[in-house]
Amino acid sequence: MCGRFVSSSPPDEIARYFDAEPPAEAPLLANWNVAPTNDVYVVLVHGGVRHLDSHHWGLVPVWAKSPAMGNKMINARAEGLADKRAFKHAFRKRRCIVPVDGFYEWKKISGETAKQPYFIHRRDDEPLAFAGLWEEWRGPNRDGSQRLRSATIVTTTPNETMAPIHDRMPTILPPSVWDEWLDPANADLETLGRLLVPAPPQLLAMHPVSPAVGNVRNGGAQLADAIDLDGGSLFPDDGARP
């Protein structure tokens, strides 16, 4: 799964990287501990043009009676998207990219109850393009009395880098398939499904980080800093990261 990530790049830089129009609304604050129910950036296509918008993290299906349902919909398993009631409509027509600067995952430690968090990012520190789905909820009666745009992150099986940490990972899309994934007129679900595969293992690097990231009230760039497994910073003098 993916339950925490970093979104620290300015929106104009994100928009430029994804060749998208920047958001019209006020920018989201840089966040090194993005959690479910936060607003997050998504890249999607309107009128044939890519846009960078902000959506609620936790997909709220059009038929939901309350936005609270989105709390259980932060991730969508790639397997069976076309058949699952909560996701099949979005998979057919409302696909997006969730741009992130890195994400956190927790590893089980033998003989310990606590898990060790890791920060995972691209080796070249370029943004990651997570496959996502989005929806617009229009109220419990679908009458437009309330409106909420929301999104979920599509997960897949782990690659060799991620497998020692967790049995799932976000689906990371290479630039070569962005147009295909984002095109709302693309109804070839079989081909789209074949895009939802683990990223090449050499794409990612990771290091252990402080357990402080587990508390959503904690923030700041230091959360992504590497630590040694005794709890001290590997870079105490200047905070540099590998």
The residues annotated with a catalytic role in the active site are 2, 105
Q: How far apart are CA 132 and CA 77, in angstroms?
A: 11
82 Cβ contact partners less than 8 Å away, ≥ 6 residues apart: 88, 91, 92, 189, 193
Q: Is 235 helix (H, G, I), strand (E, B) or coil?
A: coil
Determine the Cα–Cα distance for residues 148 and 138; give it in Å rounded to an integer.
7
**Closest Cα partner for 90 from 132, 141, 140?**
132
Residue type, 11: P
Using an 8 Å Cβ cutoff, are 226 and 241 in contact? yes
User: In the sheet where 102-108 sits, what is the strand order?
Assistant: 31-34, 4-7, 102-108, 115-122, 204-208
Q: Which residues pair with 211 in a beta bridge?
A: none
